[in-house]
Structure formats: structure tokens, C-alpha cells
Structure 1
Amino acid sequence: MTIATRRIKSSFTAGELAPELYGRADLRAFENGARQLRNVVIQPTGGVARRPGLVHIATLPGQARLVPFEFNTEQTYLLVLTDGRLQVFLGDAEVASLPAPWSTAMLPQLSFTQSADTLLLFHPEMPPQRLTRSSHTAWSITPFVFVREPFHNFARNVTMAASATTGTVTLTASAPVFSSLHISRRFRLKGQRVVIASVAGPQSATAVVEDPLEDTLATEDWQEATFSPVRGWPVCACFHQNRLVLGGSRDAPNRLWLSRTGDLGDFDGGTGLDDEAIEFALVSDQVNAIRAVFSGRHLQVFTSGTEWMVTGDPLTPSSIQLNRQTRIGTAVDRQVPPVDVDGATLFVARSGRGVHEFAYTDVADAYQANDLALVARHLVRDPVSMAYDQTARLLHVVMADGSIATLTLYRAEQVTAWTRLETEGAFRAVAETEGRVFALVERFGSFRLERFDATMGLDAALAGSSFAAQDRWTGLTHLETRDVGVLADGAPRAAERVQDGAITLDPPAATVQAGLPFQHVIEPLPPALGNATASAAAPLRLVSATFRVLATPALEVDLGRGVQPVPFRRLDTALLDAPPAPFTGDIALRALGWRRDAMAPLWRIEGATPLPLTLLSVTTDMRISN
């Protein structure tokens, strides 16, 4: 007996599902999910659209870190940090370049925070740096100055004595303390400060007294500067309630420091007045290194093993409260700063297999950390960079394998959909400024700065136009000897090879896009897996498939006999070089043949034509033989 059935897939809002879920047809995500979604993005209404292409901006000297810098709503910059250098881009143009104190090896662990026209950069092996903008082309990098620095005793049960109470004195410790790196660094004895002038040995040093000492007796009440070449520098920072918050250091990994209110360089706790600096440790059953601090509804602290909430309205030495919330942990091999999405803080799990949403719930008066990648675990593997595009509402997460997992997230509409973006080469980093998403891409042995552009259908692409049609187009040195895709006067052309930085077109064209093609794939889950009434071994025949598209000039579909272009209209021989007209409506295609493979998809959209594509729904008519 043959059973006729019709199925309508009108939503892809669950995104691409992990293979481990192919047997879970009972899940709601299964109905709205897909087997493959490559180089496409999910729309909140349920449709799927081909991703924007990438416009080429610059070739970089090497590995880089991308940092957004927003001076005001009209002036947003992209900072490109490379080995010993900082490049500043405004729009797509480089406006400044200056030497910098970091190396390539330090880039993964660099963290940053911004206030007004100043950006602070941190690394556990580098003194904090202050980047300041004076004008579009005038930028400076200087060490951040601690007006009053914090102190800490790193050597318990060790006594120290001074040979005198004023002038130049000799400090003697009961155990090894001093290092040559302590020279010019401060110590405190019973709260009074001295500056190390020279070091004679691990237990003896010469110091200049800044505050007269009480006496010359040996005491355990001494501390050294918390941040120094000996003890390391702050790991991360943020601004919260008009204080600069520093999180962790190499030798004090679980401590937090909050500056004096309104004075970002003063970290002296003083006598504990409400506006004075605050310092405390995250005390728990294990020492968890602080990896990020984030200013949200509360001060949020992300460590290698737990997440914390710091409360106090306002935060003062007497009102501050610390509460552990969840036990997920944050990545430790590199800095992937958390991002805010609709009031929730998204962070990368230490396992490298999850992106969690740290969200406060009024009912529980606590934070929860839901895993947004639970049903797409195969796409999230070792994230190395993350940025949120507020305009398109897309979260881009760059993976160590060079792909990007892109999340469409609409919490109220229950849309949590992942897709995978790929390119010829590898994505290495991503950053967003005012709705413009920049990517660091490694191609052909070099690093390039590129930007997602909805008007582009190719990668590493450049576009040009002229008043009159011309056959030679230059400016493609970054793609030398490569075969590139071409869009001429809006119509796709055959691939052309770049020679001497140029391509030659026949016939000539007045507008051209040239770049690397990329393949998009839309493949549904196998039908038998989602149909509990059908036997997995029962023969199945696809009678027809109807694709509803929106403003789509070109579509290529595989119904089991290979990928074939869909003829939207009859092509007149006189119009072969004319740009295809966008089509909106239904395209019905007939199919032939019975199938027994329950894992084989009924249809597949695949192509590299550099034109827009938006798929709204697919209706399939099938016959099943029992």
C-alpha cells in the first residue's frame, strides 16, 4: 500500500542540529532544525538567507587581535593589534599606525576596557597600557599610572626589618624575598612606604624611605606592590559604578581590586571609607583564576571554574557582597571577552564546547547559565574570538579550526539557531563596531583584514565602477594568480585569473565585483527520522518539492540527481549577459525515483552563485510504500 503525504517546512529557527540528535524526532528543535546550514544565516521570521560576502580592506603584517573603539556615535574605530604595532582604521581606511609594547605571543591573552576617549589594555606580563585618541590621526600609547598602587603580602610567616627609620636603609628578610626585578618597586612596612634602590641578595635589599618608619624591629606586617614584573600585572578589567575594576594577576589570580570612586588610578584601601578602594579574594573550595570581569546589572566575575555576582548599591567596603552563582568556568588559554545580548552576558565555557547565557532571574534572585550551543555542539569547538552584531542580531563565534559559528538569538521569540560560516582560508578573529563586522582571515599564507558587506557576493572582494564599460580592472594584487569569481554589471561571469593585480573581461563592464567564491548549503534533516508513523526501511518517493523564495535571482537544487539550476524564467539568447531578475514566489520541481536510505535528505540547496538567496519555506509531496 502506498501512502501520500505532504509536509511543509516553514521554519529553520532551531538552526543546524548536531548528529547526536538525529534520533530525537520528539524534540521541538527537530521540526525546525536542519542537517546542514553553511554560509547562510537564520532570519527571525524563520527563513534562511545566504550570508554577506567579505570586502578586502588590508593585508596585515601577521597574526592580529581586533579591538573595537567607539569614540562617539559618529566616530567608531577598529584597532588592529599586531606584533609590536597598533593600526587604527576608520571605516575601511587606515588613519594611524604606531609602535606598541606587545608581541605576537601576548595577543591571545590581551584584554581591554574603554572609558570615553581612553582604552586600557592588560596582559599578565605587561604593565597596563593607556591608549588615547587626540584626533583621527593622533593616537598615543603610554603606561597606565597607578596614583596609589595596591599592596599584598605574598610571603607569609616571613619577617622583615629595616636598619633605620629614614633615609636610605637596608631591608633584611628572614627568608628569600627580593629579586633584581624589585628595583624601583615599593614595599610597605607597617603601612609606611619604601622604594627598593638595589638588591644585594634574596634576603637583603637597599631602599629609600618615603614615609618615616615606626621602628627597626623585624615584623610580619609588610607587603610589596601587588603589580610588578616580579608578581605580574592585572589580567582583565572593566568600569563599574565609577570605579576601575581589576581582576586577577599572575601571582594573585583570585583577587579583585576596585579603585577609589572617581579616581581610576587610586587603589589604596585607606581606612575603609565608602569611596575608598576595595580589595578582596574570591574564597571558595578551590582557587579559581579570574578570567573576566563584566559590568552588567551587577558586577559579574568569570573565573576558570565558577561565575560570581558582586552586589552592593552602591559598592562600598562595608556593603559589598560576593555570591557564587554557577560552576561552568571560562576559557583560560585566551581572552574571549563576554558580550551583552539583551541584558544577558554570553561567555565561552572553559571546556571549549559551549556558549553560555549568564542571565539574572528575579524569581530565584540569582543567575543561571544556559548553554546556547546544546543542540549544535558540533559547531562549537574551541572558540577563539566572539562579537555580537547588534544591528543584524547575530553572534559570531570564531573557532580554532577557522570556521565561524553564527547564532541568531531572539529570546522572546524562542529563536536560537546556529549556522556555520566558512571561507577559502580560515577565520582567526572577529570584531564589531556600529553594525560593521570585521574579520581577520588567514588566506594563502598571509593575514587579511576583511569586512562583511551585504552588497558583496564574494569573499576577499573588491568592487569598482566606471562611467564607460572597460575590460581591464585592477587593484586585485591581494589575489594575484588566483582564479576569482566575477559579477559584471550585476550578472555572474566565468572565473578569471588575476595577473599583475588585474583581470580582463570580455565583454567589458561598467560595474564589477571580483573575489573568491564561497559555497552555501541548505540541507534538511532526513524525513524518516521525523516521522514516527513510517518505517525507517520503507521505500519513499519524493513526488515534488515547492520552494518559496524571496527576492532570489538564482537557485540551485539537488532532488537526488545532482545539483541543477532552477529556471525562474525563459532565457532569451539576447539577454544572456543581463543580470537575473530577483524572483519572489513558489518554484515547484518534480522528482523521480524511490529511495530506501532513511538518512538521505529529500532535497538540498547548494551553490556558489554570488547573488542573494532567501528561502522562506519548502513543501514536499511524498509517497511512502508500506
Structure 2
Amino acid sequence: MPKQNVEMLAFNRGIISPLALGRVDLERTALSAEIQTNWMPRVLGSMMLRPGLEYRWETNDSDVAKLIPFVFSTDETALVEVTGSSMRVWDGDSLVTRPSVSSTITNGEFTSNLNGWTDADETGTVSEYEFAALLGGRMKLTGNGTNQAARYQAVSTSSAGTEHALRIEILRGPVELKVGTSAGDDSYISATLRTGTHSLTFTPSGTFYIQFSSSLKRSVLVESVAVESAGIMELPSPWAEDDLNYLRWDQSGDVIFVACDRYQQRRIERRSATSWSIVRYQPEDGPFRIVNTSPITLTPSALSGDITVTASEDLFTNGHIGALFRLTSAGQEVQESISSDDTFTSSIRVTGIGNSRAFSVSVSGFSGGTVVTLQRSPGEPGSWTDVEDYTANTSKQYNDELDNQIIYYRLGIKSGEYGSGTVTVSLSFAGGSASGVVRVNYIVDGTEVGASVLSDLGSDTATSDWEEGAWSDLRGWPSAVALYEGRLWWSGGDYMWGSESDAYEDFDDQTEGDAGPISRAIGSGPVDVINWLLPLQRLLVGTEGSEKSARSNSLDEPLTPTNFNLKNISTQGSARVPAVVVDSKGLFVQRSGLRVYEMDFKASTYDYGSMDMTTLAPKVCSPGVKWLAVQRQPDTRVHCVLNDGAVAILIYDPVENVVCWVRLETDGEVEDAVVLPGDNEDQVYYVVKRTINGATKRYVERWAKEDDCQGGTLNRQADSFVVYPGSSLDHLEGQTVVMWGGGRDLGTATVSGGSVSLPSGVTEAVVGLPYTAQYKSTKLAYGAAMGSSLMQRKRINALALMLANTHYQGLQYGSSFDLLDDLPGMSQGAAITDDTVWEGFDEESFTFNDTWDTDSRLCLQASAPRPCTVLAAIMSMDTNDKA
């Protein structure tokens, strides 16, 4: 009977569908596998028993967690762990923690007063205690636009030289914080604190001073401040557990911007390795909806500060808390209460001819040698020149008689010309209009709200010319975010918003020119939720019905308010899974959740197009993908976390035409994946749900480096492993574990009391959960016409293997997983020494125990903790049996 050799020289073709097993006429499918689980192929062609998962820590209360990577640079990284109740930070090899210190802050909760806090208010400002039902007491600071309201406290300590952390809750920001060696000194901390929670560290040399201040004309509120107790730093998380997979983020420097459908955006801020904040993202100048077209008017009670806004009909609901409103008045009025040098009103814009140019000037409250000056600037604000001086209370009309010219005017006190007291100045012009912005703080009823003026209003009379902010609990919040071309982009519902260029919190649509903000409706398709934004050569948008490209008229031109178009590039539609970037390409999960598509730039269409990456294995991602993470070193691997707790891994190299799918399985369920950059290998982290001693646990586990999975003293091929006894085994209590130490397989043991017994002479070992790798080839064929050997009776009679870094009993082989043999125990006529790990194995073939069948296969199996790497397999087959 004739013999044929079947050569398997590459294991990087991956899993194919059972429906494609007959396509042995194609080299790609002929070298593929029906099963390839827990093997890790390389682009070069070999495959190894995948690296183990090293136990790092348990999630907070073993809750469901989302890991957000923080990458300031390749060697300055952190992991932000977000659960439904808290946020913690893993920096390097430890969670950010606080040491024990003796320092305490007096009355940091502001229980009933501001006792313990020294008044440092400047002229014309107020710091005071305020109480609100349900919210309790807080420190309220109200400046006057120039001078600051301030309170400070000296804190003595017996823990000098030890790092301290201040936990600060800001109910309404921004608040200026200074921490130093004296009142007003900022040698330890100088920070602007936004609305949210802050945990800021410093190391005092002795008594330190904490000062809160604000010069804003509106009030800001400090809810609490305390020296943190010893232990792990935790900040409150606003998102519910069910929302964690819908978090979307992008990072700029020390700030991570986070979007989530139904939640106001957040900023996660880092000021140092141990100083972190989670605060609200609150632009003060937009974006806004269309101009009001109803008959409802809005009337502000004042032009600045804390005011009320009254609607002519029911308008306001609880969903408006935090919303912006922009009010545009007929006519212009500006005013200021001044108690310091170099302070002026905002400007008015004067146009027209004759008496229509006249405007009112008012000055009152003079005392002690102050000089008030009226100034003007032609064309635009900036080139200010003096017009008139006032040294006494004044109320007059002024007409510059500069017909048909546009002139800006302002009123105030120049440097060196302030005497004493508070001078109130104002300008009022009947022509033109002025706009100001308020943020709603609380609801009185359907017609009245309390609000803070963010930019001064132009009049306190009723106006129907108003716009509501685009974002609020009522109108919804963005569901995706991305940084692209120097703008921060948000999207949600049927809209996209791009910030002003290089100004990530500015959305003033009155800014002229190409740097202005961009606001566009998508306008077609099912767009209730935009699932992702992806910044490639163009900004790509994934919706439920299609994928779109945001583009200018030319590829080399940036997006601008007047050069912005949205075009469909694919109508596959996307699942609610964030897309990922691989160089100039993108990968996204199709609407079914079962298929992964590549988006690549197509020269033929001069835009992006999509291609199915799961064509040969359409069910490899069944029962659906819930998260993607990209690893770039040592190969490009896309970790697709599946709904059943397995991971489908795509080994991906377009240059070498490698599209290889394999599966990773562990004794538990992988719920999340994230990648941080490494030197020669990226750091891959999983959140794994395990059942330990009858209890549900969630562990953060990190892939071992491939260089540490080649044998040696400590071979890191076990799951949830630690190096023992350097670390406790409490997290595996009651589990049967495998052990490797001293360069050999130490067998199994059961963890009891957080420990196991190591054999004599072994001082430390890698101890963790076992896992098994299985490989089952596609249908075997041979000859020039490969398909001609299908459906013929045949059997494998011999097998030759080329191996590297493999335990002498690290691989089993056979025609099925129910009939496996160990590798030969003899080499060149001599018995192989126990626990030998071959650096290379390249010997003659050995007998393969097979039966005659039309469907003969090669099955390979390896198990942790024994290393194994397969380079090639050569099978000798008998054919044409007549029995």
C-alpha cells in the first residue's frame, strides 16, 4: 500500500468552520484546525502552550469591574479599576494606598458652622456656612470677579515626612486649593478642583495649611475635606454595574475623558502617581440645541452671580438640573462691583449713526481716590484706549459720534488707580444684543430655577431668544468619545459634537473661523445610541445600522465647522462594543455580536471599507463578543472577550496575511481584558470570575511573559498563579493546583489554610490552576490534487515532531483526544532523564497508533505546568487499504 507524507509546517492558520473542512484544496484551510484551544500561535508559524495567568488582586468586594488603561508614556502607566460602587487605581505592582498618619482636620464636614476655618476674604467677597436639606452643611465661597473669598486652616501633625492624602468633595466647582507651609502658600499643592471627588497627596515637613478660595462672582461649594485613613484609595464611581461595558474613554495627558449612555461625562484626573480625582465634565459655553421657537420667555433676576430664572410658562423639570441655558437679550448691559486695580466690565458693542449710538454710563460708590476710566477698542476687543475718567459718582449718556463704525467699550479701574471701597460701574446700550450662559442648580417649580451665571448676561428683562444646552438628564448625554485632530469629540443620539480646536471644554458656537466647534446631526439610520468613535486617518462612527466616515473635502484637510461631511462606509451596523485601532486600521464587532470586521482605507473609493475577519470561522466568537483589547507585542493579538467567559483571540498580521483565530479557556469566566504597553511584551490583564471554595470571586490576572514559559526554575504556566511561598494562596483556598519549581513539575496539591507543601529541596514554586491545550487538525489530504484523497480510507502510521522548549512529557498525540499517547521515553536508545526540557527536539518519526478511517486527524494536547512549543509535524500515512 502506498505511503504519503503530510507536512504541517505552520500552526498560525487558526480555527475554521466545520463547514469548511472540505476545502483542503486551499493551503490556508488545509493547515487550519477544527479545534485550537489554549494554544498560542505565533506569526512565524509555531504554537506554544499559552502563558499562564498571574494573580494580581481581587476586584473590590469581588464585584464586576471594568479596567481602564492609563498610559501617560510607555513606561508610566496605571490601571483604573471601576466597579459599580468605587474606583481604585493599580500603579505598577500595587494598588494606590494611604499610609497611617495622625493628622486630622477640624470641622472638615462643616457640620453646623465654619469653626476652625480662618476667614481670609478679600474686599467685596464672602465665605460662609450654608446648609441644605439632604446635602448637609458646606463651605460657600463667593468672590467678586477679581478678589477672592477664602478660608484656611492650620493642621498640626506628628507624622512629618510621611505622605498625607486629602479627600475633598466639591459639590459645585471650580474651587482653588492651596496646601503649603503658611496661609496662602502652595508649595505642597496648587490645584483647581472641579465638581467631584479628589484624593490628593503631599508630604508635609511639619504643620501645614489648607486654603480654599474662589474669585468667581458665582458661589462655589466645598462639601468636605479630611485626611484619608490608612488603606486602599477608593473614589466613588457614578456608574451602575450593568453600565460598565458601555463605558467609552479616551486620554489626553493626565486626563481620561469618559462617556456612558445616560450618564454625565466624567474626567478621571491624575496629578501624580498617588493623586487622583473623578469629576464631572462641565463645559461652560455649550453645546446648545436650536434657538427657542416657542412663546416662552425667560427672565433672569440679575446679570451675574447666583440668580433665579423665571419662565413665562411651565418649562423646567428635574432633568434640567445641571443643564445650560444661553439667554440673548435685546440691548446690552454690563456691570461690575470693583474693589481692586486692573478690573473692568465686559464690553458692549456700539454701532449705528447719530443718537442711536448713545449709551449710558453709571458709576456709584466712590470713596478714597479711585479713578474710573471708560475705554474703547475699534473693530474688536483688545486695542483699548482711554476715553474719559470719572472721580465721582456719575450717571450720563455718552455718544462717540463715530457713525457707521463698530466700537467696543468697557468701564473699570486701571492698574494703580484704585483707592478704597467698592465702586459699582455699568454700561447700557439699547442697540445690538448680548448673550450670557447660566447653569441650573436646583428646581423651584416648573417656572423657576436657581442658577449660576457662567458668563455675564446682557439684560435682566424677559427674552424669548434663548437656547437650552444639548446635554442633561432630560436631553441625554453622549455615549462615545474620541480625540481627533486636536478636538475632543462626543457623540450620542443623532448628534456629534467637536470641541474648539485644542480647547477640549470649549463649545462656543460664536467662535469664528476654522477653530470653532463642530455640531452635526447624523440624520439617517438607527442612531439611538452611537456605539463608538474611532480616530483613524478619518474619524469613524459606529451606529446600530451603519459605519460612517466624518471627512472633509480632501483627505489632507482638517475637519472644520464649514468642511465636515458624514458618509456611510459600511452598512453592517455595529454591536455595543467599542472598536479598536490597529495602526491605520480599525476592528469592530458587527451588529450580531458574532463577527469581527476590519476597516481599512481603500484607494479605489478614497475612503474606508469593511472586511469580515471571521469568514472562515463565522462562529468562533459565539455566543457573542462583549469587549475587545489589542496586544501589539510580541505579535498583534486581538482579545475578544465572549459572553460565555471564553476569549477568542485573533493573531493578526496583514503584511504576512495572518488571520488566525484561537480560543482561550480557563477554569472560570473572563469578563474583561485590557492591555498596557511593555518593553518586549505588552502586559495583558483579564478580569476572571472564578468559583473558589463555593464562593464567587473576581480576580485581576495578568498574562505571563512568553520568555517565562520556556521551562527553567519557575515556569509560569498555570492560571491564577503566584510564586509561592512569596505570596499567599488564600485566593485558591480549597482548589487543586499544579506546581512547578526547581526546574520540574511538582505534581498537584490541594490548598488548605492558604498554603501547600512543597517537596524537599524546593524553596519556591509557581502554583496555580491547571489548564489544557488541545489542537485538532482539519481533514488530512495529500498529493497534487489535494481533494482527491478526501473520503479515502487511510491511517497515520508515524509522526515526526519538531519541538522547542518542551518538557519531555509535555505533549500527547493521537487520532482523537480519547486516544492519546505520550512522547517516547527513549532517545537514541537511552531513557530520557525525568523532567528534561528540550531546548530543541528534532528526531526521527515514531509510531502513531491510528485506525483505518476516511477522516484521519492529528490531535495534540499539552497541559500546564509543562512547557511545550510545536514548530512542525510530519505525518506518514498509509492509503488505499483493501481490507
Relative to the length of structure 2, the TM-score reads 0.64
Query: Which residue is 2:181 aligned to?
Result: none
Query: Which residue is 1:262 aligned to?
Result: 502
Query: Which residue is 1:105 aligned to?
Result: 242
Contact 1:7 1:621 in 2 (8 A): yes
Cα distance in 1 for partners of 2:657, 2:832 equals 49
Cα distance in 2 for partners of 1:68, 1:207 equals 39
Letter in 1 for 2:602: T
Deviations 1:565-584 (A, max 9, x none): 213646999954x5534333
Deviations 1:438-465 (A, max 9, x none): 010001111000000032110000124x
Query: Which residue is 1:44 aligned to?
Result: 43
Deviation (angstroms), 1:145: 2.7
Say yes or no: does 1:459 pair with 2:719: yes
Cα distance in 2 for partners of 1:39, 1:280 equals 46
Cα distance in 2 for partners of 1:352, 1:489 equals 45
User: Percent identity among equivalent residues?
Assistant: 25
Say yes or no: does 1:161 pair with 2:297: yes
Deviation (angstroms), 1:541: 2.2
Letter in 2 for 1:547: L
Say yes or no: does 1:114 pair with 2:360: no
Say yes or no: does 1:565 pair with 2:822: yes
Letter in 2 for 1:509: V
Deviations 1:377-407 (A, max 9, x none): 2221211121111112211111010011111
Cα distance in 2 for partners of 1:281, 1:192 equals 25
Cα distance in 2 for partners of 1:144, 1:436 equals 30
Deviations 1:542-594 (A, max 9, x none): 22111111222222212467222213646999954x55343331452213454
**Cα distance change, pair 183–565 in 1 and its aligned pair in 2 (3 A):** closer
Query: Which residue is 1:356 aligned to?
Result: 597
Return 5+ residue gaps in structure 2 as ranges.
98-232, 329-434, 709-715
2:866 pairs with 588, 597, 611, which one?
A: 611
- Structure showing greater radius of gyration is 2
Please show how residues 66-215 of structure 1 align to structure 2 within 5 Å: 66-96=67-97, 97-100=233-236, 101-153=238-290, 158-162=294-298, 168=308, 170-173=310-313, 177-183=315-321, 185-189=323-327, 193=437, 196=440, 199=443, 204-206=447-449, 211-212=457-458
Higher mean displacement: 143-152 or 348-357: 143-152
Letter in 2 for 1:67: I
Letter in 2 for 1:520: A
Say yes or no: does 1:521 pair with 2:768: no
2:621 pairs with 380, 394, 400, which one?
A: 380
Cα distance in 2 for partners of 1:198, 1:512 equals 61
Return 5+ residue gaps in structure 1 as ranges.
465-471
Deviation (angstroms), 1:247: 1.1
Say yes or no: does 1:282 pair with 2:485: no
**Secondary structure of the corresponding residue to residue 223 of structure 1:** strand
Letter in 2 for 1:261: S
Higher mean displacement: 433-442 or 385-394: 385-394
Query: Which residue is 2:660 aligned to?
Result: 417
Deviation (angstroms), 1:316: 1.4
Please show how residues 501-540 of structure 1 align to structure 2 within 5 Å: 501-527=754-780, 531-534=786-789, 536=791, 538-540=792-794
Deviations 1:295-334 (A, max 9, x none): 21111211121111112322211122222211122213xx
Deviation (angstroms), 1:527: 1.9
Letter in 1 for 2:697: S
Cα distance in 1 for partners of 2:767, 2:250 equals 38
Cα distance in 2 for partners of 1:330, 1:574 equals 55
Query: Which residue is 1:446 aligned to?
Result: 697
Deviation (angstroms), 1:509: 0.5
Query: Which residue is 2:203 aligned to?
Result: none
Higher mean displacement: 376-385 or 187-196: 187-196
Deviation (angstroms), 1:67: 1.1
Letter in 1 for 2:626: V
Deviation (angstroms), 1:504: 0.6
**Secondary structure of the corresponding residue to residue 20 of structure 1:** helix
Relative to the length of structure 1, the TM-score reads 0.89
Deviations 1:153-198 (A, max 9, x none): 49x864322468967553134xx64312324533235565455576
**Secondary structure of the corresponding residue to residue 457 of structure 1:** coil
Contact 1:198 1:205 in 2 (8 A): no
**Secondary structure of the corresponding residue to residue 533 of structure 1:** helix
**Cα distance change, pair 607–270 in 1 and its aligned pair in 2 (3 A):** same
Query: Which residue is 1:3 aligned to?
Result: 2
Deviations 1:508-534 (A, max 9, x none): 403311100110111111226994213
**Cα distance change, pair 546–345 in 1 and its aligned pair in 2 (3 A):** same
Contact 1:357 1:369 in 2 (8 A): yes
Contact 2:6 2:781 in 1 (8 A): no
Deviation (angstroms), 1:416: 0.5
Cα distance in 1 for partners of 2:539, 2:732 equals 47
Letter in 1 for 2:234: L
**Cα distance change, pair 180–543 in 1 and its aligned pair in 2 (3 A):** closer
Say yes or no: does 1:12 pair with 2:8: no
Cα distance in 1 for partners of 2:825, 2:794 equals 28
Cα distance in 1 for partners of 2:609, 2:638 equals 20
**Secondary structure of the corresponding residue to residue 478 of structure 1:** helix
Q: How many residues align?
A: 601
Cα distance in 1 for partners of 2:646, 2:844 equals 32
Query: Which residue is 1:231 aligned to?
Result: 475
2:744 pairs with 491, 506, 521, which one?
A: 491
RMSD: 2.7
Cα distance in 2 for partners of 1:608, 1:164 equals 73
**Cα distance change, pair 458–318 in 1 and its aligned pair in 2 (3 A):** same
